[in-house]
Amino acid sequence: MMMRTLVCIGVMAVLLCSININAVNGQLSSTFYAKSCPRVQSIVKTVVKQAVAKEKRMGASLVRLHFHDCFVNGCDGSILLDDNATFTGEKTAGPNANSARGFDVIDTIKTQVEAACSGVVSCADILTIAARDSIVELQGPTWTVMLGRRDSPTASLSAANNNIPSPASSLSTLITSFQNHGLSTKDLVALSGAHTIGQSRCAFFRTRIYNESNINAAFATSVKPNCPSAGGDNTLSPLDVVTPTTFDNKYYSNLKVQKGLLHSDQQLFNGGSTDSQVTTYSTNQNSFFTDFAAAMVKMGNISPLTGTSGQIRKNCRKAN
């Protein structure tokens, strides 16, 4: 999505946002690992680049992992934990079952980071950096990632089921969900732009393409062969049919002509309060990039564990 000359404007805005956030919580810092693990960002970047080159969809999957992590008790790496005798984790929750992926990429990064600086970098921070680098690999904007998160030793299946917005959500439900996490309606619309990449399971959009009226008829018809009215829950369709593997503003252009794949997507342009922001992004990619980057920094600061809270997992799939 991005011409590099446009990124600078967005980066400056995000840097200011990052500085402000850092001043407020006084705990996360862009230089947190400057001395303790100076190679961490280059390691993450290299592994993400390789993973996305092998399968472009992986970029979207890593961004989604970060989002689903942060919306469940904060950005603490809890989504990465496997079930154990003590708790049932988040991987089998409704929003994640048969769709959350990219865990092996995080494992590869963690192994290499541990070899470079054992017991220093959290899985939560690795996931946050990986999300940023995934966007960059798919031609999207870059931003300064704030670091210093620690890992939760536990996970919550119920919180994952209750806190992650459903693809069937109304606009008011989406706004409330984001507000509950300290994110504004502007952040909601900007972050939803991540659906310019990636794919969705038929189970998440079947009702929309067969039963809803605010959908482009030709678009609905084109999707139905890959999503039958019964069965085929796990078949996939791109969220952005125009440029499915490029991070750009086509998602918003699609919404303007009723080609949002998910019910929750089209809610952003359906005669409501967010229509004007969708229109702006559909014609001004630079504005979208700037706001998206700022919102990603803000989302990455949802309730992090810092200081002596939590732990630094040696294996992202299990507590120490």
Residue set of the binding site for heme b: 195
Q: How many CA atoms lie within 13 A of 209 on its CB side?
A: 26
| Six token digits for residue 3 | 């011409």
Q: Which residues are annotated as a binding site?
A: 69, 72, 74, 76, 78, 90, 165, 195-196, 240, 243, 248
Q: Which residues are annotated as a binding site for Ca(2+)?
A: 69, 72, 74, 76, 78, 90, 196, 240, 243, 248
Distance CA 94, CA 261 (A): 19
Q: Which residues are annotated as a binding site for substrate?
A: 165
The DSSP H or E segment spanning 217 is helix 217-223
Please indicate whether residue 68 is annotated as part of the active site: yes
Q: Are 234 and 220 in contact (CB under 8 A)?
A: no
The DSSP call for residue 143 is -
- Which of 66, 68, 181, 263 does the annotation list as catalytic? 68
Handedness of CA 52, 88, 90, 311 (dihedral sign): negative
Q: Are 265 and 192 in contact (CB under 8 A)?
A: yes
> Rounded to 5 degrees, what are φ and ψ at 315?
-130, 120
Contacts for 137 with CB less than 8 Å, ≥ 6 apart: 48, 49, 52, 53, 59
Residues noted as catalytic: 68
